[in-house]
Structure 1
């Protein structure tokens, strides 16, 4: 079936089911973000550092268990491992709901993160969809995560104020069980044995991913962004409580998040159409830097707090789709899973260290916290300046006929050329496809190299 025929009914069912599972799981993490620091303060043993650990603890276990869960899914199958991960996530939610100390809450959050099935869900999606539709499927999962974040940030304060924050963890546990029903009865099962695919992390490709300057800058960026997100919410709800009751905080979060999302859509469209992705990326990072300058100067007032958060979420909502979009442009086909795995682990480690940093600095003072975040974000902006412009990427295609019996040597040598980002052979139409940076090589250079290899 060709590109024009669209996704099959099975692929659409797969996308809908797996997007729901992603959304349910991430909603369960996001829903407590705006309220957990307030709730944890009421538990025995609470101090700013423990608040930060409780807030970001899930990120540590998420980062540690991503790879083991992926390896287990190769041996025991995707669905059984996803079910096990969701059960662990539900168990951690129950422990957090029944915690009688901040340490118990921290352990519950660690257990929540231990059910690290994100990479397995992506691998299952790859098993059940054709290659030409995987980008679309990944975009669908990205949309579900964005919506779960927005809904969770608004629903959390409302439900938490009405029924207690522990009710949010009970809701999370219930949704995890719903996710098990979806994986068992909605998502199709792969036929035959599970095989490694390009959407999985491979240690053999890790060196390339970590040495690629563009990918490294994006990994640093997602690490930094989620470090900032967690660090901000260690102190922000506590500071805002001086002016607004927790039950009314949704009135702040709703317009701030929706405003950021509203601005994000036209900004992404303009960036894509006018080929200004790097410019949009740098502007978004600049918004993050500016938000910490506002926080630093105005965290002692209601206006300063809300203005800082509004500016932060303009940058955050623009960066969330920009970073994976830029990342996918610089990955090689065979390193998709590894690049995505490092990206996700960077995000989760950022969330954990943001909790540690935010809690530790808040113990000193909020001035120390926002001063440090301002300094770190400024360094991040300087690193981001060196990002290779993704709009320099172009493609080269050439039919190679039936004489090429083994394309691998040609793919390898073309891939080693300066400026070549990716190279693959499409067996269906016998075309060699190359993605390259036009400021480092040309179509003529590629044509000469390929002609020489075919004549050899």
Structure 2
């Protein structure tokens, strides 16, 4: 069989994808760049009482996630009314404001407020909506994958760069840097990202408020939402306590990158073949369960590993292999399980749950550390991930499907029902639905055996 020709991205689509991936990555940089050093910094700014110090550590770690969760969907809806770019300018300005406040404060309470302001600049929904406005249906999935790649790289690079940069510019310098980059991103969007010719609601990327109930009733999606909640809560809880463990072992925070570098690099390297095997050999569930098992094993091992930095480093390698597998698998599974015309809503709920995990992990992680020390923190992580492992093992394996979408020509929109029946008759088609305006057809198709050429011919009337 001849290899299918990939539809090339147009120049304006490429500009949109690269610039908006950068903006999205910068939003994540606000959380990740300070993550390895934030707990020590907040601890140093708080009062003399140890319990009060740890309380402020938890609030500083958690505040970002709470405001992010609360404002993510409302700002996305606002972008439908006043424009995508205006909301992005507003969000990145708020994010920069929070960054600069954090950079110039020596007070723990003000740091918590600054982190909350940072999280309030929730532009992710507006960014994905703008990207959808600027890309054709046939290349949109590829453009969105560029955003996913930017997030993964930002996370790994941040864990290594954060301790190194803090040695030269301090944690406050890290906040100032993110503020400056935020303002630069506004200029990038204004002068480089193309302007959309029209605003549309895209069911594949945006939330349909009236259909959130459908997502919340889907038990498979609920399992995945709990999964991202547990993964992010565990991550934040670990980084609430782990920097203190490394400091107890005699490692200054500027040296922590030597522990994180091999863990993040090897985590990325081993994640790639695992994901390929899962996708190409229909082993997604097995790979997914493996990822959760590795995270759980590493969290349990951390309880007994704090006597040696080398053992901690080895355990973190296991942790980040599992973590990276799950970070890549979870959005893919949401996409496979959610109805094609409900994918945007499903991802909106998923992203909100992710932010709630950040909030919960920071808050409870610091509380467990204050009450029970390192055992309490890693024990908490084991409990929530252990529940996730059980949920994943008892869940049905996802179908080996993919989502494809095409524009529906004006001439064919008068008989969408007839067009639906014709597409459903094509080989490998699992489900067919249309956007509310009938301009886009969403198809959930088998990864192997889908007659894409026939569907294309139906849409051009050949």
When the two structures are superposed, what TM-score results if normalisation uses the length of structure 2? Answer: 0.86
Matched, 1:380 2:388: yes
Contact 1:69–1:117 (8 Å) recurs in 2: yes
TM-superposed deviation, 1:392: 5.0
Contact 2:99–2:115 (8 Å) recurs in 1: yes
Contact 2:282–2:400 (8 Å) recurs in 1: no
Distance 1:372 1:403, change over 3 A: closer
Q: Match of 1:450?
A: none
Matched, 1:271 2:287: no
> For 1:44 and 1:281, how far apart are their aligned partners in 2?
40
Q: Match of 2:179?
A: 173
TM-superposed deviation, 1:288: 0.9
> For 2:183 and 2:260, how far apart are their aligned partners in 1?
28
Q: Any idea what the Cα deviations from partners look like across 1:146-195, whole Å, max 9, x if unmatched?
A: 11111111111011122211000000000001100111011000113x23
Distance 1:204 1:304, change over 3 A: same
Q: Any idea what the Cα deviations from partners look like across 1:355-376, whole Å, max 9, x if unmatched?
A: 0110110011221222222122
> For 1:94 and 1:241, how far apart are their aligned partners in 2?
27
TM-superposed deviation, 1:227: 0.4
Distance 1:425 1:374, change over 3 A: closer
Q: Any idea what the Cα deviations from partners look like across 1:99-155, whole Å, max 9, x if unmatched?
A: 222111111000000000000000001100011211111110000111111111111
- For structure 1, the 5+ residue unaligned runs are 397-401, 438-442, 444-456
> For 1:72 and 1:404, how far apart are their aligned partners in 2?
29
> For 1:404 and 1:83, how far apart are their aligned partners in 2?
36
Contact 2:241–2:369 (8 Å) recurs in 1: yes
> For 1:337 and 1:279, how far apart are their aligned partners in 2?
26
Contact 2:430–2:443 (8 Å) recurs in 1: no
Match of 2:43 among 41, 50, 67: 41
> For 1:403 and 1:40, how far apart are their aligned partners in 2?
60
Match of 1:248 among 236, 248, 255: 255
TM-superposed deviation, 1:306: 2.3
Match of 2:306 among 284, 287, 299: 299
Q: Match of 2:27?
A: 25
TM-superposed deviation, 1:53: 1.6
Q: Match of 2:453?
A: none
When the two structures are superposed, what TM-score results if normalisation uses the length of structure 1? Answer: 0.87
Q: Any idea what the Cα deviations from partners look like across 1:200-226, whole Å, max 9, x if unmatched?
A: 111211111111222111111111100
- For structure 2, the 5+ residue unaligned runs are 405-410, 451-462
What is the DSSP-based 3-state SS (H/G/I as helix, E as strand, rest coil) of the residue aligned with 1:164? Answer: helix
Distance 1:405 1:79, change over 3 A: closer
Q: Match of 2:330?
A: 323
Distance 1:292 1:432, change over 3 A: closer
Matched, 1:390 2:398: yes
Q: Match of 2:107?
A: 101
> For 2:222 and 2:365, how far apart are their aligned partners in 1?
24
Q: Match of 2:432?
A: 423
TM-superposed deviation, 1:43: 0.5
Q: Match of 2:408?
A: none
TM-superposed deviation, 1:93: 0.3
Contact 1:58–1:109 (8 Å) recurs in 2: yes
CA RMSD of superposed structures (Å): 3.0
What is the DSSP-based 3-state SS (H/G/I as helix, E as strand, rest coil) of the residue aligned with 1:387? Answer: coil
What is the DSSP-based 3-state SS (H/G/I as helix, E as strand, rest coil) of the residue aligned with 1:423? Answer: strand
Q: Match of 2:456?
A: none
Match of 1:159 among 161, 165, 189: 165
Matched, 1:124 2:130: yes
TM-superposed deviation, 1:16: 0.7
> For 1:5 and 1:59, how far apart are their aligned partners in 2?
38
> For 2:172 and 2:307, how far apart are their aligned partners in 1?
29
> For 2:430 and 2:79, how far apart are their aligned partners in 1?
30
Q: Match of 1:239?
A: 245
Contact 2:7–2:138 (8 Å) recurs in 1: no
Matched, 1:54 2:66: no
- Equivalenced residues, count: 428
Matched, 1:139 2:126: no
Matched, 1:367 2:372: no
